[in-house]
Amino acid sequence: MWTDAIEDAIAKTLQNIDRFGEKFPHVSRNGTYELNDNNDWTDGFWSGMLWLSYEYSGDERFRQAAEATVASFHKRLRDHVVLDHHDIGFLYSLSSKAQWIVTRDESARQLTLQAADVLMKRWREPGGYIQAWGRKEDAKEAGRIIIDCLLNLPLLYWASEQTGDPAYREAAVLQAEKSRRFLVRGDDSSYHTFFFNPETGEPIGGATHQGYSNGSTWTRGQAWGVYGFALSYRYTKNPLFLESAKRLARYFLEHLPEDHVAYWDFNAPVQEGTYRDSSASAIVAAGLLELLSHLEDQDSDRAYFQEMLLKSMTSLVERYATIGEEDAEGLLKHGSYYVHGGVSPDDYMIWGDYFYLEALMRMEKGITGYWHERV
Ligand code: GLY
C-alpha cells in the first residue's frame, strides 16, 4: 500500500513540475494550487518534495527542478524577500539544506548557514526568545512566540554542528525550553501563541491565531509541537524534550475522531461539516516516526505510537489521498489553513503533501527528510 501511495505521489509531483514552472505552490482553492514567486513561508515544502522524489527515484528531472528552487532561495536571501519571520527554518531546511544532505554541494551548505544567521537576528532580549512574526519595531508582534517555531530550530542546531559555534544551539535550546514552559499546558494541550512583554520579558499570556479560541488547542499547532520537541530531543538528548513530544503526541492521538484524522481544532464543536486538517495528521505521522526512532524497544509507549501511526497513515492513504485521481494537483485533500480567517478551510496544503510524502518515504525507504543530517 505504501509503495503504491509513493508511486502515485511521485507521478503527481512530476506533473506539477510543468504545472508550477518557476513558481511555488502554497494552498489550493477549489483544487488548484495558488502559486507565488518564492515569497511565502511555505515555499520550502515544494523544494523538499522534489528532493524526496529525487532520492526515491533517481530521476534527474526532480534533481534539476529541486536545484532550480535552491537557486531561487539564493536570490530570496540575497534580496531579503519576505524574510521578516521565523519560518526561515522551514524554507532553508527543505531547500538548500536538503541539497547539502543529498548532494554535499558546498554552496548549498553556505547558503543554509547564512539563513541560520538571518534567523538568529530574530533573537530578542530581555525575554530570551525568537520573535515569530514581523520586525523588531512592530509593537504588536515583538513579544510573540508560536509553537510552529519548533520546526525552525533544527536549522539552528544544525548550524552549530556545522560551524562549532554554540550560539545557534543555545538559542534553539532556550526557545524549546520556553515553548515547553509557556506553550504547553498542564494537560498536555497547547497554545498556538504566547506573548511576553518585549521591554521586560515578563510573560503575558497565551492566545491563538489560527485556532478556534485563545484557550483552544489548534491541532496543527499541537502537531508542530510533537515533531518539534522530538527533533529538539534528537539534537540535545534532553529527556524533557522527549517527554514533551510523547505527551503532546498522546494528547493528539487520544483526541482523534473515529477515522484517526484530526479536525482543525480539538475544541471546535464537531457537527456535520466541521473541517478536518489532514495536514496536522500528516505532520504527526512524520513526527511519530521521529519519536519512535528515539524510543527503546521496551518503552511502554512504543506499541501505542506504532499502532496509531499505522491507523493514521492508513486512513490518510485510503480516505484523504488523491490516489488514482490522475489530474489532481495535491496529494492530500481536506487540509485547513485558517478556518476562522476564511482562508482555504478544506483544500490541499503544500506542507500536508510534504509531510505525507516524508512519512511514506520514511516508512518504506528509510529516507528521513531534511531536518537533520543522516546517521
Ligand atoms: N506555520 C503556519 C501554519 O502552520 O499555518
Per residue in 256-279, pLDDT tens?
999 999 999 999 999 999 999 999
DSSP string, 22-59: T-EEEEEETTEEEEESS-STTHHHHHHHHHHHHHHH--
Question: Is the beta carbon of 40 within 6 A of some atom in ligand 1?
Answer: no
Ligand 1 atom with the smallest distance to the CA of 279 is 4
The answer to whether 341 touches 20, Cβ cutoff 8 Å, is no
Question: Is the beta carbon of 358 within 6 A of some atom in ligand 1?
Answer: no
Ligand 1 atom with the smallest distance to the CA of 90 is 1
141/53 Cα distance (integer angstroms): 37
**pTM for the complete prediction?**
0.98
Residue 58 is labelled as binding a ligand: no
Which DSSP helix (H) or strand (E) runs through 204?
strand 203-207
Q: What is the pLDDT of residue 124?
A: 98
Per residue in 304-359, pLDDT tens?
999 999 999 999 999 999 999 999 999 999 999 999 999 999 999 999 999 999 99
Closest CA to ligand 1's atom 2: 148
DSSP state, 184? B
Which band of pLDDT confidence, cut at 50, 70 and 90, is reported for residue 244? very high
The answer to whether 162 touches 108, Cβ cutoff 8 Å, is no
Q: Which of 338, 358, 344, 351 is nearest to 288 (CA)?
A: 358
Considering the four listed CATH numbers 1.10.10.10, 1.50.10.10, 1.20.1560.10, 2.130.10.30, the one that applies to the domain covering 2-365 is 1.50.10.10
Q: In the predicted model, what is the mean pLDDT of the chain? A: 98
Per residue in 61-84, pLDDT tens?
999 999 999 999 999 999 999 999
Ligand 1: distance of its center to the CA of 164 in Å? Answer: 31
Instruction: Look at residue 133 and give its three-state secondary structure.
Output: strand
Which band of pLDDT confidence, cut at 50, 70 and 90, is reported for residue 375? confident
